[in-house]
Chains A and B, each alone.
Chain A
Amino acid sequence: MNSEFRERQPIGVKNLSKHGHTTWLPPVRKIKQQISTDPTLTPEYTHILGIPEFTRRATQLALGKDSPAIVESRVFGIQTVGCTGAVRLGAELLRSCYCSSSSWTHVFISLSFLEDSLAGTFKAAGIEDVQYYRYWDAESNGVCVENMLYDLENAPEQCVVVLFASGHRPTGAELSQEDWKRVAEVMKRQLFAFFLMSAQGLCSGSLEQDAWPVRHCVSLGLELLCAQSFSHNFGLYGERVGHLLCVLKQNLLAVQSQAEKLVQTLWSCPPMEGARVVATVLSNPAHLESVKAIAERCMLIRERLRERLRLLGGPWQWDHIIKPGGLYCCFGLNTQQVDFLVQKKHIYLLPNGCLNVSAINSRNLDYVAESIHQALSSKR
C-alpha cells in the first residue's frame, strides 16, 4: 500500500485544484492586493444589506441582466454571510413576513442523507415543521422526478419548497429542463420556491444554464427567494460571500425594510472584503472565463473516474457519474461500505457515498476507483 495514501483523502466539500488545495480564481489574488493598498477605500460599516455594487452584480448573475424582474424593479438582493447566512436570513424573512394572514408553517426539503444543517437552519429561524420530498433514487442512481412531483403535488398549500437550482448537495443529481418545467407548473399552483444556488457556473460550465431553473420560474411570474454562494465558484471559502435574492410581485420596500431589521439581529451588516472582490470580478467578463475552467476540470475527472471503474469490471453502471456536472457525485453506498472506505482506505466521503469530484486528481484517481470497486464488491 502506498504510504502516501495513509494520509486523509478528504473528498467532502470544497472545490480543490489538481494539487489538492483550494484555489482562488486567478484574478482574485491581484484584486485582494489592490484592495489592501487602495487609499480610497474606507473602513466604514457597509450598508445593512451589503455593498450595492455586489448585490447588483450578484442579482444580474442569477437572473440575467435583462430579467423582467430586474427591469420591472421587483427584485432586491442582500449580501449575506455565506450561503448559510442567506438561508438563515431567508428563513427568518419567511417566518416573519410570509402570508401573515395564513397559517402557513411548512418547509419542504429534498430528502437527503446529509447532516441536517439545512433543516436545523430553518428550525433555528422558528420554522419547526420541516418535511421532506423524495429526490434521489437508489435504483436509477439519479433523480426520480415522478416521486418528487407526486410529493410536491400533495404538499400542504402555500408550503415553502427548497430547490437546488443546480449542483444538488450532496448527490449532484440534476433535473433536466423539461423536468424543471413540470416542477415549476406545480410550484405555480400553490407553493413558494426557495432556491439554493451554491455553485453557479461550476455544474454545466455555463452560468446561464446553471441558473435556468430560477430564471424560468421568474419568467412565469413566480415570487421566490434564491440563496447564492460564491464559495466554490470563486474559491472564496473563508471570506463568506453569500447573497439572498428576493423576487416579489409588489411591496418591495416594505419587505426590504423588514429584511434590514432581521439583518440587524444577526450580524448588523456583512463583511466587506470578499464581496468587494466578487463585485470586481463580476464587473469584468474576462474573469468569468476562469469559472468555466473549473467546471471543465470537474467534467474531465468524472469521465476519467467512470473509465477506471468500467475497466475494473463488475456488474455496475457508471453513466450517472458523468450525467450531471459540477462538484458532487453519488454512488449510493450503504453505511458499511462508507465505513470501509473511511476506516480501511482513509477515504473520507459524505454519507451514502456522495463525494466532491474536484478532490480527485491524477495522483489518487486509481486508488479512489479501486477502493470504491472494493467497497462495492466485498461488502454488499
Chain B
Amino acid sequence: IMSIFGEVPLAAPVAVFKLTADFREDQNPSKVNLGVGAYRTDEGQPWVLPVVRKVEKMIADDHSLNHEYLPILGLPEFRSSASQIALGEDSPAIKDNRVGAVQCLGGTGALKIGAEFLRRWYNGTDNTKTPIYVSAPTWENHNAVFSNAGFEDIRPYKYWDAGKRGLDLEGFLSDLESAPDHSIFVLHACAHNPTGTDPTQDQWKQISDVMKRKSLFAFFDSAYQGFASGNLDKDAWAVRYFVSQGFELFCAQSFSKNFGLYNERVGNLTVVAKDQDNLNRVLSQMEKIVRITWSNPPSQGARLVAITLNTPELFAEWKDNVKTMADRVLLMRAQLKEKLKALGTPGTWEHITEQIGMFSFTGLNPKQVEYLVKEKHIYLMASGRINMCGLTTKNIDYVAESIHEAVTTV
C-alpha cells in the first residue's frame, strides 16, 4: 500500500549547512570554512565566552532556582533588559512605558512571532496581501518565515550595488517611494547579512523620512548588536533613531552571536508602540500566538543573559568579551586587505575594511568561488560571501594567495 506521503518531493538542502557538511567531509589539511555565520577563535575553534562559562556554573549550582514553565511571553527580567540593550537604558520610549517584548526562540523565533502578529492584525485583519519587502540580497530564511506566516507578496528592495560594491541608496529610496503605503520593510539593524554594508547615519535619515511619509512599517532584524563595531550603542543607532522619530516598530533581537549562545535559542521581539494601552493589547495577542507555537520559551539561555545584563560586573565582562570578538574580526579584515594589496591582486579591496560585522561580500563571481571551493578547499557561499571569523593568523596567507589566484586565473 502506498504511503500517504508518497508524493512528497525532496527539498533542496539549506545552502549554508550543505557547505559546512561538505567542509567536514573534506580531508584536505589546508581546508578553510568561510561559510556559516558563527564566531571562531584564532585557533579556529568555537568560543564559549568566559562570562557565559561563569554564569552557566552559577545557574547550575543555584539550588533556589525553580524549573517551572516560564510565562508565555518569557522571563520578565530577560525581556526588559534585552529591550534596554536595543533601545538604550535612557530610552524615552521605555520611560513612557510603551516598550514591551516577547522572549522567543532565537532571532528566527522573534521574526516568526512578529510576522504571525502582523499577518493577523496589521493593515486590517488577516490581510495576507500586505507586501513584505526584504533587501536584495538578504538572509535566505527571511522569505520563508514571512511566507509561512501567510504573507502572499514578498518582494525585494534594491540594496547591494555589485558594480560599486556598496549600498545602492538610490535604488533603495526609489523602492521605498514606489512601495504601497503601509508595506512592511525588513531592515537589518547593523552588520547587514550577507553584504556587511550598512547605510550611514545620514542615509538612515533619508530612509526614515520616506518610511514615515508613506507609513511604511519598520521591522528591524538585529542579530549582531555589539559584534559589528564592538560598541553596543553604536550598533543600535538606527533602531534608536527610528524610535526617536516616532515610529511604532518591531525589533527581532538575537543573542546567538553576541553571547555565543547559538544552540540555546535566545531571542527577543522588542515592540515599540504609541502608548501603553496599545502595547498591552499587542502583547496580549502575541501571547495567544506564542501559545499555539511553542507554548512558552526555554529558560536556560534567557536566564543566563538576564543575569549577565542585570549584574554590573558581569555586564562589563560581557561587553569586554564582545569587544574581543569584534576586534579579532576587524584585525582579520585589515590583514586580508593588506595581503591582497601586497600581492597586487587586481581590483579594489577597500570594501573589505569598509564592510562591517561577520560577513564580507567579496565580489568574487561564481566561477571564482567554485575554484576556491574545488581547487583550494576554501569553502564560501556561492554569492561570494565570506565569514571573516573563519580567518586566522595561520590560514590568512593561504586564503589571500588563493583569492589572488582565483581573481587572476579564473
Contact = CB atoms under 8 A, between A and B. Distances in A.
Chains A and B form a bound pair: yes
Interface of A: 14, 21-22, 24, 29, 32-33, 35-37, 42-46, 48, 81-85, 88, 92, 97-101, 117, 120-121, 123-124, 126, 158, 192, 223, 231, 235-240, 248-251, 253-255, 257-258, 260-262, 264-274
Given A249-B5, A270-B105, A272-B263, 14 more contacts: A84-B293, A88-B293, A98-B5, A236-B67, A250-B5, A254-B10, A260-B14, A261-B144, A265-B141, A265-B149, A266-B293, A267-B109, A268-B106, A271-B263
Interface stretch (B186-194, B238-246, B294-302, B351-359): B294-302
A265 B145 contact: yes
Given A32-B60, A84-B293, A258-B8, A264 B141 contact: yes
Contact of A84 (B48, B107, B260, B295): B295
A100 B7 contact: yes
A43 B48 contact: yes
B11 A267 contact: no
Given A84-B292, A267-B106, A267-B294, A238 B14 contact: no
Contact of A257 (B10, B66, B67, B299): B10
Contact of B10 (A84, A98, A253): A253
Nearest to B107: A268
B300 A81 contact: no
12 contacts: A43-B46, A99-B4, A117-B292, A121-B293, A235-B67, A240-B297, A250-B2, A253-B10, A265-B108, A265-B112, A265-B141, A266-B108
Contact of A81 (B2, B66, B289, B298): B298
B296 A120 contact: no
A48 B11 contact: no
A209 B1 CA distance: 29
Interface of B: 1-14, 17, 36, 38, 45-48, 52, 56-57, 59-61, 66-70, 105-109, 112, 116, 141, 144-145, 147-150, 256, 260-265, 288-289, 291-301
Q: Which 10 residue pairs across A and B have the least CB separation, nearest first?
A: A238-B299, A267-B105, A84-B295, A249-B3, A272-B263, A265-B148, A268-B108, A36-B60, A257-B11, A81-B294
A264 B295 contact: no
B69 A238 contact: yes
B300 A43 contact: no
Contacts of A42: 45-46, 48
Contact of A237 (B52, B69, B109, B147): B69
Contacts of A273: 264, 298, 300-301
Given A254-B10, A264-B108, A98 B262 contact: no
Nearest to A82: B295
Contacts of A237: 67-69
Contacts of A274: 298, 300
B298 A240 contact: yes
Given A44-B38, A239-B298, A260-B14, A267 B70 contact: no
A255 B8 CA distance: 6
A267 B265 contact: yes
A251 B8 CA distance: 7
B2 A264 contact: no
Contact of B7 (A46, A101, A117, A121): A101
A257 B59 CA distance: 36
Contacts of A269: 106, 263, 265
Contacts of B36: 45
Given A124-B289, A223-B3, A250-B6, A271 B105 contact: yes
Contact of A261 (B5, B11, B70, B289): B11
Interface of B is mostly: loop
Identify the interface centre among A48, A81, A265: most chain B CB within 10 Å of its CB: A265
Contacts of B297: 81, 240
Contacts of B48: 42-43
A254 B14 CA distance: 14
A185 to B, nearest CB: 16
A249 B5 CA distance: 8
B68 A22 contact: yes
Contacts of A48: 14, 17
Given A251-B5, A267-B265, A44 B46 contact: yes
Most chain A CB atoms below 10 A, which of B4, B112, B301:
B4
Given A261-B144, A271-B264, A88 B292 contact: yes
B279 to A, nearest CB: 23
Contacts of B298: 81, 238-240, 271, 273-274
B112 A266 contact: yes
B35 to A, nearest CB: 12
B373 to A, nearest CB: 21
B141 A268 contact: yes
Contacts of B38: 44-45
Nearest to A238: B299
A24 B264 contact: no
Contact of B265 (A36, A82, A270): A270
B70 A238 contact: yes
Contacts of B12: 257
Given A265-B145, A273-B300, A43 B262 contact: yes
A100 B288 CA distance: 30
A231 B295 CA distance: 12
B294 A249 contact: no
Nearest to B67: A238
A189 B108 CA distance: 40
Contact of A267 (B10, B108, B288, B300): B108
A6 B65 CA distance: 25
Contacts of B288: 120
Contacts of B7: 100-101
Contact of A85 (B69, B262, B293): B293
Contacts of A120: 288, 291-292
B106 A254 contact: no
A337 to B, nearest CB: 27
B299 A239 contact: yes
Contacts of B57: 36-37
B1 A249 contact: yes
